[in-house]
Amino acid sequence: MIVKSLSLSNFRNYNRLFIEFNQDINILIGDNGQGKTNLIEAIYLLSVGKSFKTHIIKQMIMFDYDFAKVKGEVISNNKKRYLEIILGNDFKRAKIDDQDIYKISEYVGLLNVVVFIPDDLYLVKGGPRNRRRFVDLELSKISPIYVFNLSKYNNLLKERNKYLKVLNKKNINSDEYLEVLDEQLAKLQVELIKKRINFINKLGEKVKLIYQMISKKDDEIIDLCYLCFLKNEINYENILSMYKKNHQRDIRYMQTHIGIHKDDLGIYMNGNIADLFASQGQQRTIVLAMKVALIELIKDEIGEYPVLLLDDVLSELDETRKNMLLDILNQKIQTFITTTSIDGINHQIVEKAKKIYIKSGKEVT
């Protein structure tokens, strides 16, 4: 996949911008606060319809304007496409080739990107919510049916939690509508859990190999596994049974205590929890291996490499990890790198890269 050009209107600190990119390496250079990360964010927005920085749409719209627009010309499956996201203070619209799109499952996947930001270095030591979000976002890019089912699950979960408050006020232990919601959630989760397990297993196989390639240490074994709320066989009956057993507790506390929204991605080194037993350097190598493995997994699933976005990450990596990453990028992947200076990047990749200098929301020469 390739992003050929990007057009911004009233997005962040960009009033108007049209910019063309190299199909290999693009280095965005500028001081902090000039708009480098905003360009990375715009490309990511075109991919999944969301920002990796905020969930508040208004923050992405330039001050004193009512809307923002991000449009990109991309090459996907050897076909030229135009993707567009329009943001308003109280709305968000997506377009493909100037045609309105009403289902996110029809949009996600046309442009696949992998973003690597400094906060990702805390993926190992952070909470389960961060890891769930990672799994859901990355799996959504390669499976439209997963996007569709996950959206249905989240809507049903909101409805169930809302209804639990009604039952709590009426002091009712259960009723038919709650059981209907249980049944619908149970059916959805069977497929969602299977998708997650399959994704994590495939990713884990690649992470194990790539980690050893980066670290050069055969005695450090990395394993990923899915930590599911359901400990016995994953089927509709077992999930439904758990919901029924938890009715009273759920009604008392007015929230759903079990389900995939509570699950986690387990990351282990030599059988021990990496958060507790891996050093900071080892944890960073694990995350780097996960990102590289994700690139390869997406290639396996959809037949082409995603676009890679590196937002100020190189400054967070030591020379060995930095060069290993750049060696991998040097081979096959369109990449966008933000940095305040290229002086510290001692790699041949800099010579062939397109260097784009950004100042105050503008490209400067």
Is 264 annotated as belonging to a binding site?
no
| CA gap 31, 364 in Å, rounded | 13
Rounded to 5 degrees, what are φ and ψ at 96?
A: -125, 120
Residue 293: which H helix or E strand, with range?
helix 280-302
Q: Do the Cβ atoms of 37 and 110 come closer than 8 Å?
A: no
Has 34 been labeled as part of a binding site?
yes
For residues 127 and 83, give the distance between their C-alpha atoms in angstroms, rounded to a whole number. Answer: 33
Q: What is the dihedral of CA 29, 335, 70, 132, to 10 degrees?
A: -110
- Single-letter residue type at 204: G
Q: Is residue 303 a known part of a binding site?
A: no
49 is in an annotated binding site: no
Q: For the residues of 96-155, what is the DSSP string, one character each?
A: ETTEEE--HHHHTTSS-EEEE-GGGGGTTTS-HHHHHHHHHHHHHHH-HHHHHHHHHHHH
CB 64 within 8 A of CB 6: no
Is 259 annotated as contributing to ligand binding? no
Amino acid in position 90: D
Cβ proximity of 269 and 277 under 8 Å: yes
As a whole number of angstroms, the distance between CA 58 and CA 89 comes to 5
Q: CA 333, CA 295: separation in Å to the nearest integer?
A: 9
The Cα–Cα gap between 45 and 60 comes to 10
Does the annotation list 36 as a binding residue? Answer: yes
Q: Establish whether 246 is an annotated binding residue.
A: no
- 98 labelled binding-site residue: no
Dist CA 136 CA 195 (whole Å): 10
Query: What percent of the chain is helix, strand and coil (3-state, nearest 5)?
Result: 50, 25, 25
Q: Are 350 and 317 in contact (CB under 8 A)?
A: no
Q: Residues forming the annotated binding site for ATP?
A: 30-37
Residues annotated within the binding site are 30-37
